[in-house]
Amino acid sequence: MTTLRLSILFHRHTPDCRTNRLDPVNDMKQFFESREPFSLESGETLPSLTVAYHTYGKLSPRRDNVIWVMHGLTANSDVADWWPGTVGDGLFLDPGKYFIVCANMLGSCYGTTGPSSINPATGSPWCGSFPKVTIRDMVQAHKLLAKHLGITRIHEMIGVSLGGFQAIEWMVSDPDIAENVMFCATDSSCSPWLAAFNQSMYMAIKTDPTWGTPSLDAARQGLATARSIALISYRGPFAYNMSQKDSEEKEDPFFHRVQTYQEYQGKKLCDRFDVYSYVRICQSGDSHDVGRGRGGIKNALARIKAETLVIGITSDILFPPACLEELAANIPGSRLEVMHSDFAHDGFLIEHLQLNEIMHRWRKERKPDSGVNCF
């Protein structure tokens, strides 16, 4: 692993959801609009629904080459933007072979209905009045988009991190939707460890005196602090100690390079995300429990019929390998791969060479992909 590869992760391009600004060369964002009321698990109802999504490649005549990707917390529907080294000829997300779909999650601010959307009742952004959404609500939005696209069967479903929560939920709620599924750096429920990080972020955000004001610029300082807390859980000690090491000749004994780095990353998120979307998405993670109302996690995961690959990361402190081992153990016939990386949870964003090798090997060794009939 090199410092150069680490810097790709730490400084990769991200669009600005507050202006919906994307690189115009790569802006293939599409929108699905439903004017029907969208019921939430909480009992509240959104008057309508918009889902932003990207597609890559072409749908085969038999509609049997769909790969559906679900993204993490503050990512967007443009997989090539946030997951470098995975989309392209010969890569595991190959548009020349597959029809790749990625939808922006419900509650985000990258085009799908969320706190930054306009509330038709007021003519202003929802901000803090946007209702809480659950992982199950997010999956319902995915299902509506799939119906709109005429997709009734997914060749391969891929969920990473919070996207893995959604993929697990979708596979349990509709076991016949996908032939093959990959879950990476995720879990079947929100652990106390994850909930503790989330609660610490909420506490930091609520100390900001502008929290609760009806503005998308509210609680920027609180959001920056929350992002600093989150980064610690994403990256772990090795990545920090390698990339943020102080000079031996520093003049101020109280100064550490990482201090400015944390501040920079906090500001960077504030420049592209709003606090209300961030909180609602994190709260959706709090809601995640695939066993809720289904007789427990083991009973729920036993419903999954697809050929399943579970990928853990050796240094991931947010979803340690033991979590992925347990997940795989409860899914009939699943396969577990533990990927070595010194970059903790964010390893799935960096280790694209390993991921490509693992995915290609999995495809080669599982049941023949007789369903894929491209063009």
Q: Where on the phi/psi map is residue 14: left (φ > 0), alpha (ψ -120 to 50), or beta?
A: beta
**Distance in angstroms (rounded) separating the CA atoms of residues 209 and 204:** 11
Residue 33 in 3-state DSSP?
strand
Q: Write down the residue that tokens 């007021």 correspond to.
A: 122
Question: Of 161, 287, 315, 334, which one is the catalytic site residue?
Answer: 161
Q: Which residue from 345, 293, 306, 292 is spatially nearest to 323, judged by alpha carbons? A: 345
Is residue 57 exposed (0-12), middle (13-18) or buried (19+ Cβ within 10 Å)? buried
The whole-angstrom separation of Cα 120 and Cα 106 is 17
* 316 among known catalytic residues: yes
Measured CA to CA, the distance from residue 355 to residue 342 in angstroms comes to 15
Query: 194 φ, ψ to 5°?
Result: -65, -45
Beta bridge mates, 156:
67, 180
Whole-number Å distance between alpha carbons of 15 and 191: 30
- 161 a catalytic residue: yes
The yes-or-no answer on residue 148 being catalytic is no
Q: Residue 89 is inside which H or E element, if any? A: none
Name the token pair of 192.
């106390």
Closest CA to 305 of 188, 185, 181, 154: 181
Catalytic residue among 71, 142, 345, 352: 345
Q: Which of 316, 334, 341, 352 is catalytic?
A: 316
Smallest Cα–Cα separation from 344: which of 199, 222, 262, 242? Answer: 242
The residue type found at 370 is S
- Taking Cα atoms as reference points, which of 109, 41, 115, 103 lies closest to residue 77? 103
* Cα 109 → chain centroid: 13
Catalytic residues: 161, 316, 345
